[in-house]
């Protein structure tokens, strides 16, 4: 009998780019909020990407965010609004 050769399984994690379409589709089908944002740690400059999904944004918070985008339009902030449902 030949010796059994153990092969290492490649722990291939999907990239965030590969995960986003399914996450977005799922959030939309459940009427969840879907937020992608990043933060830079002021101490070491390390950037982290955050993807949040759920019942997150209240109507008041949404109004505040929309106003902020409008105020920062000259700096490149944009908002796209479409009828849904």
pLDDT digits (tens, 9 = 90+) for 26-77: 999 999 999 999 999 999 999 999 999 999 999 999 999 999 999 999 999 9
CB atoms within 10 A of CB 51: 15
Q: How distant, in Å, are the alpha carbons of 11, 49, 71, 79 from that of 76?
A: 39, 20, 10, 10
- Of the pLDDT bands very low, low, confident and very high (cuts 50, 70, 90), residue 85 is confident
Mean pLDDT over 9-37 rounds to 90
pTM for this model (two decimals): 0.72
pLDDT at 11: 65
Question: Comparing C-alpha atoms, which of 35, 65, 61 is closest to residue 49?
Answer: 35
Nearest to 53 by CA among 73, 83, 24: 24
């Amino acid at each position: 009998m030949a010796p059994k050769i153990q092969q290492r399984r490649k722990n291939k994690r999907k990239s965030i780019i590969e995960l986003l379409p399914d996450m977005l589709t799922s959030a939309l089908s459940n009427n969840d909020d879907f937020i992608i944002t990043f933060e830079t740690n002021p101490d070491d400059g390390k950037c982290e990407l955050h993807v949040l999904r759920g019942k997150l944004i209240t109507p008041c918070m949404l109004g505040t965010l929309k106003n902020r985008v409008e105020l920062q339009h000259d700096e490149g902030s944009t908002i796209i609004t479409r009828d849904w449902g």
